[in-house]
Amino acid sequence: MRTLSVVGVLLCGLVSGSYGLYSKGDAVVDLTPSNFDKLVTNGDGVWIVEFYAPWCGHCKSLVPEYKKAAKALKGIVNVGAVNADEHRSLGGQFGVQGFPTIKVFGANKKKPEDYNGQRTAQGMVDAGLAAAKKLAQAQLGGKSSGGGGSSSNANAGPGEGKDVVELTESNFKKKVFDSDKGWLVEFYAPWCGHCKSLAGPWADAASRLKGKMNLGALDATVHGSIASDYGIRGYPTIKYFAPGSTEPEDYEGGRNADDIVAWAEEKAAENIAPPEVKQILSEKTVSDACGEHPLCVIAFLPHILDCQSSCRNSFIDDLTKLGDKYKKKQWGWLWSEAMAQPELEAAVDVGGFGYPALAVISQKKMKYSILTGSFGYDGINEFLRELSYGKGRTNSVRGAKMPTINKVDAWDGKDGEMPVEEDIDLSDVDLDDKDEL
């Protein structure tokens, strides 16, 4: 019997040790993984939630004041408690690292704010009312706020920027792996101070890189499986995913917007295809190459009768190789047959140099530079290298606007042929029938 009594006492002790600090009679709602999303994350109104451990001395000391605050806020602000020692998944989801931790769930339930006020009923009531007022004002204005609580944007993550894509376990693979553009992904935690500092530059960089590279943010405390897949051990961690790649590389740039943009543009340029050297066929051809790029390189090639297909293709091949070499500059590349675009040639003074000739135009500045050296790979490369360093002589485009472009037929890739001369039949002409002088 003595043995049974001892076992009974031990069992009783184990059972009592698993009890929480709050009972059903309190105004404090017992929150668990089974009801948390329904009541808090997806529920209405503001919630103040304490994450505690039953063995924690500070948690036990807080109980009377927390009950008092819950009673005072009943019907106004919801007050709940999570036994984070028993339900560790909830604590981990919200970055709880010590007990007690109190968080205020306002308008943005996925990014609650830490309560850092006094551990008194009055302090917690004031924080709850402030959060409720903020939520009401946001709903009155038709806007969503960053959450309730005692400090504005205390847990703002990098996903706050309008051009930063919020990544989750459900959309990560589809958005990142299936993209034709690269991705910079930040793995962050809402409570991380360095992540908060990065939020502004990250949002700024996302807007500046729009159309070139995607910037995303994943809350690693919520979507832990993705973070685990990539060995994320600290916050913030930034990874770069090349287009279509599932294996990222570490971001090695700085933490301000300029550094992020510069690093991303360098990576984006590595993955772009070499530009196509296009024949000038219409206004649109020139507009696309010169108006949408910082510079456009235009080659004026000899007439097909002066330089047959093999000759012309050799020039175009050199231009294509140079386009690949300078693709990071994102220039436009064009060619035209000699005298097919007389107004364009006149605007950049090509005529005096003969053919082939080459001009580089900045439509934004209405300036151009002419190749005066050898029209070959090495000569053009030297000329373009000088321009890329900001060197070289420039002139103003004649008329300070892009000239009229003629519509021409596309070259068929064949050799040129002289027009066939018609045979003249003189058999019916009487050469002797002339007027006498």
238-264 pLDDT per residue, tens: 999 998 889 999 999 999 999 999 999
Do 171 and 93 share a structural domain?
no
pLDDT (tens digit per residue) in 292-350: 899 999 999 999 999 999 999 999 999 999 999 998 888 999 999 999 999 999 999 98
Residue 357 has phi, psi (to 5 degrees) of: -140, 165
159-208 residue pLDDT tens: 556 899 999 999 999 999 988 889 999 999 988 889 999 999 999 999 99
State which of 140, 166, 195 marks the end of a domain.
140
What total of structural domains would you count in the chain? 3
Residue 149 belongs to a domain: no
Of 70, 157, 68, 78, nearest to 112 (Cα)?
A: 157
Among residues 270, 292, 312, the one where a domain terminates is 270
The token pair at 30 is 């017992």
418: left (phi over 0), alpha (psi -120 to 50) or beta: beta
Tell whether 4 is covered by a domain.
no
Q: Quick one: 329 and 349 in the same domain? A: yes
Annotated catalytic, 195? yes
Annotated catalytic, 59?
A: yes
Catalytic annotation, pick one of 195, 290, 296, 307: 195
Parent domain of 228: 158-270
Exactly one of 12, 59, 290, 296 is catalytic; name it. 59
Q: Do 249 and 293 belong together in one domain? A: no
User: Looking at the structure, do residues 54 and 94 belong to the same domain, yes or no?
Assistant: yes
pLDDT above 50 (res 144): no
76: phi then psi, degrees, rounded to nearest 5: -115, -55
Of 300, 403, 291, 286, nearest to 356 by C-alpha is: 300
User: Is 153 inside a domain boundary?
Assistant: no
Q: Is residue 297 part of a domain?
A: yes
Cα–chain-centroid distance for residue 78? 38
pLDDT digits (tens, 9 = 90+) for 36-72: 999 999 888 999 999 999 999 999 999 999 999 999 9
**Shortest CA distance to 214 belongs to which of 269, 248, 264, 156?**
264
Domain C-terminal end among 270, 290, 307: 270
Both 224 and 282 in a single domain? no
Residues 286 and 396 in one domain: yes
Residues 7 and 243: their CA atoms lie apart, in Å, by: 63
Position 429 in a domain:
no
Is 233 in the same domain as 321? no
Residue 432, domain member (yes or no): no
In a domain, 14, yes or no: no
Q: Could you read off the pLDDT of 370-382 as tens digits, one per residue?
A: 999 999 999 999 9
C-alpha span between 338 and 354 (Å, rounded): 9
Q: What's 50's domain CATH number? A: 3.40.30.10
Taking the C-alpha atoms of residue 108 and residue 146, their distance in angstroms, rounded to an integer, is 5
Residue 137 pLDDT class (50, 70, 90 cuts): confident
Q: Is residue 99 part of a domain?
A: yes
Pair 147, 104: CB distance under 8 Å: yes
- Choose, from 12, 56, 290, 307, the residue flagged as catalytic: 56
- Whether 192 is a known active-site residue: answer yes
